[in-house]
Amino acid sequence: MITPENSGARATIRALPASRIRLIANAALGRSDVLPFWFGESDQVTPEPVRAAAIEALSAGRTFYTHNLGEPALRDALADYLSTLHARPFERDSIIVTSSGISALMVTMQALLDPGQRVLIPAPTWPGLSEIPTILGAQVETVPLEPGPNGWTLNLEALLTALSADVRLLVLNSPNNPTGWVLDPAHRAPILERCRETGTWIICDDVYERLPIDSSTDCTPSFLPLISAEDRVISVNSFSKAWLMTGWRLGWIVAPRTIAADLGKLIEFNTSCAPAFVQAGALQALAEDPYQFKERRAALQARAGELLAGLKHFPGLLVPPPTGGMYVFLRIRGEQDSVATALRLIDEAGLGLAPGSAFGAAGEGWLRWCFASRPERLADGLDRFGRWLRHR
Ligand SMILES: Cc1ncc(COP(=O)(O)O)c(C=O)c1O
């Protein structure tokens, strides 16, 4: 007999929440009077040399399947890039290219998680990190990130207490989407030590590591310089944010050699391989003049400064400053329902922000503003927000 229970997806998938960012974006679809800052991407196109490299690869007929683990030339280039960035050697065989950061997370978690196993994540959190374990039948538990006048912090004691022997996986996303929290470098050793004792794997979502707000550093604190070959630590990364390549769908994994071949099997059954011409573009991105990379990042840091400076003028706001990434996560006094507030901002201010509840219960009441934008758009957004706050 056909029932609602057996005629659709399995119950876990039916219960997955639809994206609340999409809910807001769809409400404003086709409206030219709304200025959107809801998605996590720059309004700038991928740099021209990267696009040219992909076009050249296509013209040369590079349209065939590639190696499960990525083109050897790109894996070697990533090994060189990471060796320089983290001042320690990396080899090709610990690096795996994937079709996006989210696909890297999916195959990594497919490799690690059995149904019922426990996963610990600081929250608020980007939904990919909490929903993939849910899809796989694992149990997600959160430890809170706490807002303060100098930014968001993680209570190390609370995390270590929660890290019991039956926690299979700890997921750390630093810089964090949506809060801009960055891992305290002094917290790395005690977390690693505890995970060594408990046998807990760590997935570091390092997608925003090249986007510190502090201009004196090139990369936010990473576990990669600290770990040894036996450590159960996997770094997931992406070309999306730091190289303006969101639509290309290319990421990578740094993993212990013991798990690389199994990740390759899972890639075969997810996407099989990343396209050759996309990887050719990424090779060019890694060869980019470091000066250009720094210039682009300096512009993003300037936008963060402008947004924070502008928000200071408005009363009734709680704005813990981000230390990395490309978002400000803010709260308006008296506003509790973030979807309702985001919908009002669309209708009454022509401003599109992401509702905090898109990032789990811990994000409710907050709003996320992506500042990877041209300065004049950002200034316009600030004007609209200020006017709305004065008249609401
Ligand atoms: C924390 C985090 N991890 C991973 C990703 C995935 O990036 P992509 O799939 O575009 O490579 C995102 C994208 O927004 C993100 O915010």
Give the distance (Å) from ligand 1 centre to CA of residue 101. Answer: 5
Let me know if residue 38 belongs to a domain.
yes
* Residue from 222, 226, 234 nearest 183 by CA: 222
Give the distance (Å) from ligand 1 centre to CA of residue 104. Answer: 10
| pLDDT surpasses 70 at 114 | yes
- Summarised one tens digit per residue, pLDDT across range 152-166 is 999 999 999 999 999
- Enclosing domain of residue 228: 48-286
Residues 281 and 251 in one domain: yes
Instruction: Please answer whether residues 351 and 381 qualify as being in contact, where contact means their C-beta atoms are separated by less than 8 angstroms.
Output: yes
- Summarised one tens digit per residue, pLDDT across range 249-270 is 999 999 999 999 999 999 999 9
Residues 99 and 237 in one domain: yes
- Residue at 284: amino acid letter: Q
Closest atom of ligand 1 to 103 CA is 9
For residue 100, the model assigns a pLDDT of: 98
Instruction: Please answer whether residues 150 and 321 qualify as being in contact, where contact means their C-beta atoms are separated by less than 8 angstroms.
Output: yes
Tokens of 254: 């740094």
Residues 189 and 206 in one domain: yes
Residues 334 and 281 in one domain: no
Give the distance (Å) from ligand 1 centre to CA of residue 118. Answer: 22
Let me know if residue 3 belongs to a domain.
no
Instruction: Please answer whether residues 70 and 97 qualify as being in contact, where contact means their C-beta atoms are separated by less than 8 angstroms.
Output: yes
For residue 147, the model assigns a pLDDT of: 97
Let me know if residue 329 belongs to a domain.
yes
204 touches ligand 1 (CB under 6 Å): no
For residue 216, the model assigns a pLDDT of: 87
Q: How many domains does the chain have?
A: 2
CATH of the domain at 335: 3.90.1150.10
Q: Tell me how long the chain is.
A: 392
Closest-CA residue, ligand 1 atom 8, reads 101
Instruction: Please answer whether residues 363 and 338 qualify as being in contact, where contact means their C-beta atoms are separated by less than 8 angstroms.
Output: yes
Measured at the CA of 209, the angle between CA 100 and CA 180, to 5 degrees, comes to 105
Task: Determine the average pLDDT of the residues in 8-37.
Answer: 91
Pick 3 or 70 by higher pLDDT: 70
Task: Determine the average pLDDT of the residues in 140-146.
Answer: 97
Distance of CA 183 to CAs 68, 145, 221, 271, 322, Å? 32, 11, 7, 32, 12
Tokens of 87: 């001042």
Task: Spell 25-55 as b/e; 16+ CB within 10 A means b.
Answer: beebeeeeebbbbbbbebeeebbeebeebbe
Closest-CA residue, ligand 1 atom 7, reads 101
Residues 380 and 312 in one domain: yes
Let me know if residue 4 belongs to a domain.
no
For residue 291, the model assigns a pLDDT of: 85
Q: What is the mean pLDDT of the chain?
A: 96
Q: What percent of the chain has pLDDT over 70?
A: 99
Substitution site in 46, 241, 359 for ligand 1 pocket (most atoms within 8 Å of beta carbon): 241
Task: Determine the average pLDDT of the residues in 343-363.
Answer: 96
Task: Determine the average pLDDT of the residues in 82-86.
Answer: 96
Instruction: Please answer whether residues 276 and 63 qualify as being in contact, where contact means their C-beta atoms are separated by less than 8 angstroms.
Output: yes
Which of these three, 286, 306, 324, is where a domain ends? 286
38 touches ligand 1 (CB under 6 Å): no
- Summarised one tens digit per residue, pLDDT across range 182-227 is 999 999 999 999 999 999 999 999 999 999 999 889 999 999 999 9
Which of these three, 286, 314, 340, is where a domain ends? 286
Residues 199 and 220 in one domain: yes
Fill in the DSSP letter of residue 324: B
CATH of the domain at 89: 3.40.640.10
Residue 4 pLDDT grade (very low, low, confident, very high; cuts 50, 70, 90): low
Let me know if residue 264 belongs to a domain.
yes
Give the distance (Å) from ligand 1 centre to CA of residue 207. Answer: 6
Residue 3 pLDDT grade (very low, low, confident, very high; cuts 50, 70, 90): confident
For residue 34, the model assigns a pLDDT of: 95
Let me know if residue 365 belongs to a domain.
yes
Residues 29 and 110 in one domain: no
- Summarised one tens digit per residue, pLDDT across range 237-250 is 999 999 999 999 99
Give the distance (Å) from ligand 1 centre to CA of residue 295. Answer: 22
For residue 213, the model assigns a pLDDT of: 95
